[in-house]
Amino acid sequence: STVSKKRLRVALGTDSAYLLALRKRDDTWYICDGLVETIFIYKQRKVAMGALRSTRTEQYLVEALIELGEKKSVQKVQVKELCEAAQVNRTTFYKHYVDMGAFLEAVIQHFFDRMEENLDGCSLFEGLLVDDAETTCLRCTEFMNEHRAFVGLMAGSHGIPEFRRRILAAWEDACRGTVLRLRPDLGGSVDIDILARMVVSGMWGLLEFCIDPEVMYHPQYIAKHMYQVVYVSLLKPLIG
């Protein structure tokens, strides 16, 4: 296939090393065999490296936010002090985020994306009610323990109230939907909304032991109690 040298240079950015793989015949540039795939891989690597740099920048900023959040509300943290604490240039910050509000929205959304991948609400309650409840409880506590610094900040007094409400609302919806699917007849004898609130409140109350910086309970210990309190004592008698 043919391509203009200028268009290929634009596609590759400033790096024009792959132009050497072009052959000129009759004033037309021809792509040598395999170059299309090579360009695709090259571009994918550039995108991946850009994403990696962006991820590292966000990681440094989040770590700094957690440190600053020990002394003040995250909503009062300024871009300047955040960048200084993270040792990130403000130009780099504004390359990724419009302002501090946009940064907070982005990092919170990225957390929920990770939670969706690892702890999706539907699969969480499906695991509790259908699959292996003990394994599901452990998966839940391990995830929260892994992200306890961030969750503890955002769900705490220096965080954002909507953060905790968003988690609980998503889990309540998932619990309600799963229970109704498994036991559609249950709604006549039990208020499903109240049941979902009780289950999720119990789970969150136990998970707070995983995110509280002053409490050092092991995830397996909390998972054991979650299994007994939420599943054995509450869900199993109702669902069967």
Query: Is residue 27 pLDDT above 80, yes or no?
Result: no
Predicted TM-score (pTM) above 0.85: no
Q: Given pLDDT bands bounded at 50, 70 and 90, which one contains residue 120?
A: low
For residue range 81-108, what is the model confidence (pLDDT) as tens digits? 999 999 999 999 999 999 999 999 999 9
Q: What is the pLDDT of residues 204-218, one digit of tens each?
A: 999 998 888 787 789
Q: In the prediction, which pLDDT does 54 show? A: 53
pLDDT of residue 42: 41
132 pLDDT band (50/70/90 cuts)? Answer: confident
How far apart are alpha carbons 19 and 35 in whole angstroms?
Answer: 10
- Which residues partner with 24 through β-bridges? 29
CA proximity to 121, closest of 191, 185, 176, 160: 176
